[in-house]
């Protein structure tokens, strides 16, 4: 972490000792879990203290991995990631899955609830007893949320690359479960993977596959 004069963004601490940023990745994917990341940091840190920090979508994979290691080895940052799988998403819905993961992730930190302000990217929340704010496009405005998006993205991407070793035909190492043209064609031709593809997201793709699954294709 270094001072970077090009940024003027400041962290919203509301007089608290710590800030926790929370963000999710994988919300719109056709396969795999949704991941919610959280990063706790001292409230006196701001965007200015993180050189070249951007939200995960604007960083290359290499840069995300570098930032992940900075976060992992930091003496002043703590982080956690929770993932909710496709079966939960199909049963409960993607929004409840994201909120459930956010509720779980806040328990990772051993801090006094009265000393923390939780900054959630819009659409996420933690239990109501926590001091919290919902911020639209928070990963572009708050350093803690940008860092949370990175740990969530790196953790989920690593998971998808490992899963790709079991099911190489779907290109998970590249598409990370999102609905690329090649991924959609693979589902149509080979069928979906039960328990991993999100049935509730497949719609017409599933109809075109005529109900095929990987097990019976």
Of 14, 26, 1, 217, residue with least CA distance to 135: 14
DSSP string for 141-173: T-HHHHHHHHHHHHHHHHHHHHHHHH-GGG-HH
- Other Cβ atoms closer than 10 A to 52: 12
Q: How far apart are the first and last CA of the chain?
A: 51
The answer to whether the annotation marks 121 as part of a ligand binding site is yes
The answer to whether the annotation marks 23 as part of a ligand binding site is yes
CA angle 49, 143, 126 (to 5 degrees): 140
The answer to whether the annotation marks 82 as part of a ligand binding site is no
List 22's β-bridge partners, or say none: 38, 120
CA angle 33, 34, 36 (to 5 degrees): 130
CA angle 144, 145, 150 (to 5 degrees): 100
Instruction: Identify whether the C-beta of residue 95 lies closer than 8 Å to the C-beta of residue 122.
Output: no
Instruction: Identify whether the C-beta of residue 36 lies closer than 8 Å to the C-beta of residue 66.
Output: no
Name the binding residues for a divalent metal cation: 23-24, 121
Binding positions: 23-24, 121
């Amino acid at each position: 972490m270094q001072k970077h004069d090009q940024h003027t963004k400041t962290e919203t601490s509301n007089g608290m000792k710590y800030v926790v940023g929370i963000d999710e990745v994988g919300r719109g994917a056709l396969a795999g879990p949704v991941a919610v990341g959280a990063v706790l940091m001292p409230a006196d840190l701001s965007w200015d203290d993180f050189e070249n920090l951007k939200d995960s979508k604007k960083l290359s994979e290499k840069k995300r991995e570098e930032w992940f290691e900075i976060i992992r080895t930091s003496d002043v940052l703590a982080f956690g990631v929770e993932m909710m799988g496709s079966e939960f998403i199909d049963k409960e819905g993607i929004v409840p899955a994201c909120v459930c993961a956010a509720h779980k992730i806040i328990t990772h930190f051993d801090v006094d609830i009265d000393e923390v302000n939780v900054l959630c990217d819009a659409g996420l929340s933690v239990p109501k007893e926590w001091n919290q704010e919902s911020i639209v496009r928070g990963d572009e405005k708050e350093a803690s949320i940008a860092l949370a998006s990175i740990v969530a993205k790196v953790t989920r991407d690593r998971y998808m690359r490992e899963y790709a070793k079991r099911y190489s035909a779907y290109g998970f190492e590249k598409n990370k479960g999102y609905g690329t043209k090649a991924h959609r064609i693979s589902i149509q031709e080979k069928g979906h993977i039960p328990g991993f593809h999100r049935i509730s997201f497949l719609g017409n793709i599933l109809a075109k596959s005529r109900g095929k699954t990987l097990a019976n294709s």
